[in-house]
């Protein structure tokens, strides 16, 4: 079976290389031809026209924007009938649903998706890709898509992958923002970022272990205080705000966290476990 990759930027090039490494005949197309030629030197077939790329049963697209995807695929929309289009371009749930309606209307199977692990891990099992949309199309191309990494189908709603994309992006930034603040704090005391990173990495398995348990608590609406109450964490966060200010580093991050804990206290969760903070952040809590 052959696959095609349309868009050979940083991500698209890695996608094509992963398909090649897994032994798939890989047709590549890019607006700027030189990038396709570079991949042809690695075993890909450089498509002379976009129609040639649209002829593969599995067409993977990764461009800068949904507008660009529409622009590139519009001339070949009829050729895509009966094919599966996997769109790994970043967008919003709305643009994903619109793209799905448009391509489904032309008889193509559509999967919207997001690459969650940067470019360097693509092709390895730890590279997470989230997809959603046409379940039949996913089942038909599951093996080829597994060439890219850990490819997970989330459900039939084509907007869901984009929802996860944003949610996981925010999760990563939450962790990284805490890390950047921590690095600034310890650096003010003469600790090298690389030295601190070792302790940070050693702490993360504990943090990760909380996710499943706290998710269960959020679902059940019961917040045992096994990991400390909101009040206890609020007091500790006061210390972090104070220590940061005393060290001369910005307090934005711990103040943000303190604000969230205050919201939980206002919501009546002071004596509950910290997962109750999720209640204050939820749609119901915001209403
Ligand atoms: N790079 C990452 O680490 C990463 C990680 C996760 C997700 N993503 C997502 O993957 C997508 C692509 O990212 P990238 O890093 O590969 O970007 P990139 O290196 O800037 O490549 C952009 C690609 O889009 C093409 N393109 C842009 N406008 C076009 C148009 N109007 N018509 C035809 N082709 C057009 C470019 O063609 P030319 O070569 O001709 O300019 C190029 O192939 C983005 O949505 C990004 O958010 C990237």
CB 117 within 8 A of CB 93: no
Q: Calculate the alpha carbon distances from 198 to 193, 195, 223 in Å.
A: 9, 6, 31
Q: Where in the chain is the domain with CATH 1.10.1040.10?
A: 188-286
What architecture does CATH give domain 188-286? Orthogonal Bundle (1.10)
The model's pLDDT over 166-198, given as tens digits with 9 standing for 90+, comes to 999 999 999 999 999 999 999 999 999 999 999
pLDDT at position 172 is 96
Average pLDDT over residues 221-245: 96
Correct CATH for 2-156 of 3.90.960.10, 3.10.20.30, 3.40.50.720, 3.40.190.10: 3.40.50.720
Instruction: Using the mean position of ligand 1's atoms as its centre, give its distance from the Cα of residue 157 in Å.
Output: 24
Q: Where in the chain is the domain with CATH 3.40.50.720?
A: 2-156
pLDDT at position 285 is 82
pLDDT at position 227 is 86
Ligand 1: which of 4, 8, 10 to mutate, most ligand atoms within 8 Å of CB? Answer: 10
The model's pLDDT over 9-46, given as tens digits with 9 standing for 90+, comes to 999 999 999 999 999 999 999 999 999 999 999 999 99
Average pLDDT over residues 243-255: 98
Instruction: Using the mean position of ligand 1's atoms as its centre, give its distance from the Cα of residue 98 in Å.
Output: 20
Residue 284 reports pLDDT greater than 90: no
Ligand 1: which of 9, 35, 87, 92 to mutate, most ligand atoms within 8 Å of CB? Answer: 9
Neighbours of 214 (CB within 10 A): 18
92 lines ligand 1 (CB under 6 A): no
Tokens of 109: 């199977």
CB 157 within 8 A of CB 100: no
User: How many residues make up the chain in this entry?
Assistant: 287
Residue 252: pLDDT band (50, 70, 90) is very high
């Amino acid at each position: 079976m052959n696959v095609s990759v349309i868009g050979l930027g940083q991500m698209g090039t890695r996608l094509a290389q992963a398909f090649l490494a897994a032994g798939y005949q890989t047709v590549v197309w890019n607006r700027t031809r030189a990038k396709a030629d570079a991949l042809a030197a690695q075993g890909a077939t450089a498509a002379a026209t976009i129609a040639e790329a649209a002829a593969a049963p599995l067409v993977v697209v990764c461009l800068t924007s949904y507008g660009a995807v529409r622009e590139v695929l519009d001339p070949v929309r009829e050729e895509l009938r009966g094919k599966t289009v996997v769109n790994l371009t970043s967008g919003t749930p709305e643009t994903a649903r619109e793209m799905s309606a448009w391509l489904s209307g032309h008889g193509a199977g559509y999967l919207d998706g997001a690459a969650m692990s940067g470019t360097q891990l693509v092709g390895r099992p730890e590279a997470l890709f989230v997809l959603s949309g046409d379940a039949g199309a996913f089942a038909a191309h599951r093996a080829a898509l597994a060439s890219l990494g850990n490819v997970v189908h989330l459900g039939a709603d084509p907007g869901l992958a984009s929802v996860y994309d944003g949610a996981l992006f925010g999760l990563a930034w939450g962790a990284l923002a805490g890390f950047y603040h921590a690095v600034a704090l310890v650096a003010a005391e003469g600790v090298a970022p690389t030295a601190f990173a070792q302790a940070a990495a050693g702490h993360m398995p504990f943090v990760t272990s909380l996710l499943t348990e706290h998710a269960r608590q959020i679902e059940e609406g019961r917040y045992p205080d096994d990991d400390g109450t909101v009040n206890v964490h609020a007091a500790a966060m006061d210390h972090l705000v104070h220590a940061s200010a005393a060290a001369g580093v910005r307090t934005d991050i711990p103040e943000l966290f303190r604000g969230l804990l205050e919201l939980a206290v206002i919501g009546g969760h002071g004596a509950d476990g910290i997962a109750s903070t999720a209640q204050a952040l939820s749609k119901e809590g915001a209403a």
